[in-house]
Structure 1
Amino acid sequence: MLQLYWRAIRPKTLVAVIGPVLLANALAYQKPTFDLIIFLLTLACALCLQIAVNLANDVFDAEAGVDSANRLGPQRMVQSGLLPASKVKGLTYTMTSFAIIFGLILVYHGGIVFLVLGVLAIAGVYSYSAGPYPLASHGLGELAVFIFFGLIAVIGSYYLQTFQVNSSIIIYACSCGLYSAAIMLVNNIRDIETDALANKMTLAVKLGTRLSKKLYQGLLCLALVLHFIATMFLPLNSMTSELLLVLPLLICMPLTLVLSRQISTVQGKALNATLERTAQLGFIYALTNAILLFIG
């Protein structure tokens, strides 16, 4: 039973939130205000929200009929009958409660703005797949993850440590957000046919396969362009700046090219591997930068 719940939280997707939070705290590491406890609390809160949205997506898509026996993605626990909807909803509420507890501590530390962000994040958990206007069913999934896993995750995490925001942080946040949007987009490209049948009008359904794949390639390329720009704004010594500029590009460029070619040739269930590698690419990007920043 525990294995089923483990599958329900989709552990492979958690790197989408770990990476941006890690990168933001690495950027703040040299500041005298850096606090390890705040870093851990931020990470815990973000992970709880990510798990909650994964569980909510599992149960609410099943109830709405979006997930069916014809789905091409990984098996969903509620739709397949492996877990009852009531249990998955209960776990969703539990993870949301933990996120609120961690979040209230961060509100006390960071100020009222984080209360607003917290309310928006929790609203996002339940409005992504449910409610009168599900974001995922109206072509807003990519925008939502860009905002929450890019802008809010990076800028919010950095501000909690430094009480400052600068141009470099904003650009890094956009770069992380583009990787998250690419993950969402390839997921929706895989499901274009089944989503259209279920009247789930994702961005990929609206754009069509060819334009969606071009957009995916553009997101990955633009993320590296923004990395180049963000590095230019960092007040680091010359050696660290050069490494931070070049090494992530050298590491991420080959996989970016592979994925850009792959998205043009594969379809259906084969896109599950592309989806997983896209998540890995985003995490590798954040981790490489974080390591260089911690060392530098």
Structure 2
Amino acid sequence: MAKQKRSNPTQQPRKQANARSVTLRDWISGARLRTLPLAVSPVLLGFASAVSAQPGEFHWVRALAALAVALCLQIGVNYANDYSDGVRGTDDVRVGPARLTGGGGVDPKRVRNLAFFFFALAAVAGLFLVVRTEQWWLLAIGVLAILAAWFYTGGKRPYGYAGLGEVFVFIFFGLVATVGTAYTQVLFVPSNAWVLGTAAGLFACAVLMVNNLRDLDQDRNAGKRTLAVLVGRGTGRIFFGVFALAPFVATIMFMLVYPLSGFALFTLLILGPAVVITSTSETPRDLILALKLTSLGSFAWAIIMAIGIIVPNITPAVVPAYLG
């Protein structure tokens, strides 16, 4: 007689409690809107880098297409993560907001298909950029970005379960998004785009790290070996502090040339408390506020830095090019 697989009794009540009709609000929540600034920030910084390199060279349509690529990839990876973690049981018990798949109220295939839909939108916007710039080699970058987004938690051997999630977000939501945006504007890579892309990538790593510190216990129990699980809570807190504060080195570098960018130092008033909370947290729920502050602070930093770089490059002769 075959043995029946025993379920975890502590997880069953949660499944049943969430087996309800899913509303539009639930689907919107599944997109994880608080993560979208991570997609917008590198595009803003890449745009600023391009403006600093060629003040009179700007293409609105390309900029919007780059923004569409970043946003659709971010939303797509959020739904893909919801689907993959849900079907693996990683989200059966969680501290943060309930997930669509893990909550048991949605057919997992619907969540997966929605992820594919947003990946397709990102592909269309990316293809448009390739056609407009005639840089066909960018197609390879786009394919890699979509594959990386899916295999973060999808597939048989997701790299997000092997402690490599931070590598993905640093490369694609930092360097690729920032440098790529700048390149599609001026068709070369300004040197400061690498610095700004590094800063954006570190902030993205900080958001992912504090999120994974919050979920550390449930991820460990589910076999999800995030970087936080691999290094432990104490070292993870140190990593988070480095990720969240290192971008301010870029602020100091840029303010020597663009004094207005120095105002980005004020975002330490947001990110500093996030570091303190993360370093002293006693329960996973304490980190929910730290996660919100990190996302908000990094977005504010990107906006102020972009304005600080762009404004000195706007002259009366250049303004018409921006409005046209």
Superposition TM-score tier, normalisation by shorter sequence: over 0.9
Aligned to 1:199: 223
Matched, 1:21 2:33: no
Q: Take 1:280 and 1:87, find their aligned partners in 2: how far apart are those partners?
A: 30
Matched, 1:94 2:123: no
Matched, 1:72 2:95: yes
- The aligned amino acid for 2:27 is Y
- 2:223 aligned counterpart, secondary structure: coil
Matched, 1:158 2:177: no
Matched, 1:185 2:209: yes
Consecutive unaligned residues in structure 2, runs of 5 or more = 1-22, 313-324
Q: Report Cα offsets for 1:141-181 as digits up to 9, x if no partner.
A: 11110111110010000010011223311011101110000
Q: 2:291 aligns with which of 269, 275, 284?
A: 275
Q: Take 2:253 and 2:306, find their aligned partners in 1: how far apart are those partners?
A: 17
Aligned to 1:262: 277
Q: Aligned Cα RMSD in Å?
A: 1.5
Q: Take 1:56 and 1:279, find their aligned partners in 2: how far apart are those partners?
A: 20
Structure with the larger helix share: 1
Q: 1:248 aligns with which of 264, 284, 289?
A: 264
Q: 1:284 aligns with which of 289, 300, 304?
A: 300
Q: Report Cα offsets for 1:169-210 as digits up to 9, x if no partner.
A: 101110111000000000111111111111111100010000
Aligned to 2:195: 171
Matched, 1:60 2:84: yes
Contact 1:263 1:274 in 2 (8 A): yes
Contact 2:45 2:197 in 1 (8 A): no
- The aligned amino acid for 1:89 is R
Q: Take 1:7 and 1:259, find their aligned partners in 2: how far apart are those partners?
A: 23
Q: Report Cα offsets for 1:225-279 as digits up to 9, x if no partner.
A: 13323555x5xxxxxx1222x2111x12222321221111113122111111111
Matched, 1:2 2:19: no
Q: Take 1:104 and 1:169, find their aligned partners in 2: how far apart are those partners?
A: 22
Aligned to 1:108: 131
Consecutive unaligned residues in structure 1, runs of 5 or more = 235-240
Deviation at 1:5, TM superposition (A): 1.2
Percent of aligned positions that are identical: 33
Contact 2:50 2:190 in 1 (8 A): no
Q: Take 1:193 and 1:99, find their aligned partners in 2: how far apart are those partners?
A: 34
- The aligned amino acid for 1:158 is A
Deviation at 1:4, TM superposition (A): 1.7
Contact 1:155 1:165 in 2 (8 A): yes
- The aligned amino acid for 1:27 is S
Q: Take 2:144 and 2:254, find their aligned partners in 1: how far apart are those partners?
A: 27
Q: 2:71 aligns with which of 44, 47, 55?
A: 47
Name the CA shift for 1:295/1:166 in 2 (closer, same or farther; >3 Å). closer
Deviation at 1:24, TM superposition (A): 1.2
TM-score by structure 1 length? 0.92
Matched, 1:83 2:100: no
TM-score by structure 2 length? 0.85
Moved over 4 A (4+): none
Q: State the aligned residue count.
A: 286
Contact 1:28 1:158 in 2 (8 A): yes
Q: Take 2:244 and 2:108, find their aligned partners in 1: how far apart are those partners?
A: 36
Q: Take 2:307 and 2:251, find their aligned partners in 1: how far apart are those partners?
A: 15
Deviation at 1:119, TM superposition (A): 0.6
- The aligned amino acid for 1:255 is I
Contact 1:26 1:294 in 2 (8 A): yes
Contact 1:168 1:231 in 2 (8 A): no
Name the CA shift for 1:262/1:191 in 2 (closer, same or farther; >3 Å). same
- 1:29 aligned counterpart, secondary structure: helix
Aligned to 1:218: 242
Q: Take 2:191 and 2:157, find their aligned partners in 1: how far apart are those partners?
A: 34
Aligned to 1:237: none
Q: Take 1:272 and 1:176, find their aligned partners in 2: how far apart are those partners?
A: 21
Deviation at 1:109, TM superposition (A): 3.0
Q: Take 1:167 and 1:294, find their aligned partners in 2: how far apart are those partners?
A: 16
